[in-house]
Structure 1
Amino acid sequence: MSAVRVQHEDFDLGQELARLREGDPRVGAVVSFVGTVRDMNEGANVSELELEHYPGMTERALEDIVEQARARWPLYKALVVHRVGPMAPMEQIVLVACSAAHRGEAFAACEFIIDYLKTDAPFWKKEQTPEGARWVDARLSDDSAKAKWVAA
């Protein structure tokens, strides 16, 4: 089972992770990543981060990334919850979680999904700073993180 949700509202980490284990005694590992809004980026104070997306296309892209992970590792469940809209520093942006029999597969799949999400998911980020609004460009470090999976 895989689930992908794009939503404005926050998510409850404990509830989401409990659902990944629920009723499945085979699960030996649940690994998660939560991304949050930072108050500083590229030397500027950030008072708000706004994420925009293209409904339908974004969900399909996320589902494709999850399916690529499922093709590489024997996952029981995978979950991606990504928020859109305006968010303040310290708010949760994204949850990626995977369950598997063993931690190695769960860790690798979770890292793979977030690395691909950062480069291949159609989200546009705009930050509010004291100097005004600015669009956030992709980072070279995100491309490097994804490149390790292409070579593997």
Structure 2
Amino acid sequence: MNYWLMKSEPDTFSIDDLKRKKREAWDGVRNYQARNFMRDGMRVGDGVLFYHSNCAEPGIAGLAEVASDAYPDPSQFDPKSQYFDPGSSRDNPRWMLVDVKFVKKLKRTITLDELKNHSAVAGMTLLRKGNRLSVMPVEAGDWKYILGLE
């Protein structure tokens, strides 16, 4: 089993939205490294830290699970979508996504500032200066440590 952190802006799609919907396609990823993590690394059943970004209190708000293998993101083919990519084709799709399903909302958000104060997770990709990836791997030890902070 692998572990991941997936970022979403809560005013666009929050842990509460996932709780209500139960399962959702993680669309709109337009970074090759993040796409590669979904396409090549994620497997059904992998754990996901659901992270609220670009908000008053960024941090880990809940848990989800990878619910599908990667498949082409349909928004890349839709000229009306903000995620449309005219260079992508159905025969050779450029962008992939996975479905995620709700596991639980944390009792409290584990904030980015709080994570920065824990040397046990200092090596996390999330905490590296300049990192803006929306999908990133999480080491098993970091996953366990973070869940213990709740």
Q: How would you bin the TM-score normalised by the shorter chain?
A: under 0.3
Please give the TM-score of this superposition, normalised by the length of structure 2.
Answer: 0.27
Which has more helix, going by share of residues? 1
Please give the TM-score of this superposition, normalised by the length of structure 1.
Answer: 0.27
Which has more strand, going by share of residues? 1
